[in-house]
Amino acid sequence: MTIFYTTPLLLFVALVLSLLTCSAQNADNVHLQFLSFPKATASEPVELVIGKNKTINVEIPSNELSPTYKVNRQNQWTVGESTTDEEGKPAFTVFGRGKALTSTKQLILLVRKGKKNSDGFDVLVIDNRIAHFGGGKFLFMNAAQVDIAGIVGTQKFAIQPSKHTIIKPEPDKKNKRVCHTLLYYRKGKEAKPFLSSKWPLSGDARGLIFFYHDPRTKQLRLHSIRDFLPQNG
């Protein structure tokens, strides 16, 4: 039996196939943002590997999140610099690698091992979806050599060196726009106070807090960034 397809049916089939193709392509796309820490004197871009022999330049600021880069999904994120070997052939020098997540939105933190990009990075990948790291939340990253603990609002946390945590504190009862913060570091068996302050709290912004030791003075320092989310979420 011969089946004759009408023009509307052919158009419908073509439309469905087109939508399925677009859906499959979108599933392979990932939105990335970058942040480097500690702050460098001159924060130069690095190259991100996005496929076999394919790279793009990405900005790695320290005081704000980078622009968003839409790339193909990878098993790991590798940053570095395109070079040439001793024979003059193209080569790639790796500065750091981190395991990619399944999330469609990922924040890549590059923790510097030295003053220059070529000194290398520890690469930490965070789920950057609003449901996971949205407004009113704080990301604490411990790049220091001591344990850090704290109470933000009524929310307690503790993080060892090279670890991180995300919390969502409750605001102060008297002022819903702030939360009282107490921070401590471990010295031997004692918890030493490090900071006592009131931090702004908003459903439209999130905080990124980094602990580190100043390379010159060796004193414990804190670096914070407030990232305002787009109104459309």
pLDDT (tens place) for every residue of the chain, 233 residues total: 454 445 555 555 554 445 444 444 445 899 999 999 888 767 799 999 999 999 999 999 999 999 999 999 999 999 999 998 888 888 999 999 999 999 999 999 999 998 899 999 999 999 999 999 999 999 999 999 999 999 999 999 999 999 999 999 999 988 999 999 999 999 999 999 999 999 999 999 999 999 998 878 889 999 999 999 986 54
pTM of the model: 0.83
Contact status, residue 75 vs residue 100, Cβ threshold 8 Å: yes
- Three-state secondary-structure class, residue 158: strand
DSSP E strand stretches across the chain: 29-37, 46-51, 54-58, 69-72, 76-84, 90-99, 105-112, 121-127, 138-142, 148-152, 155-159, 164-167, 178-187, 190-200, 205-213, 220-228
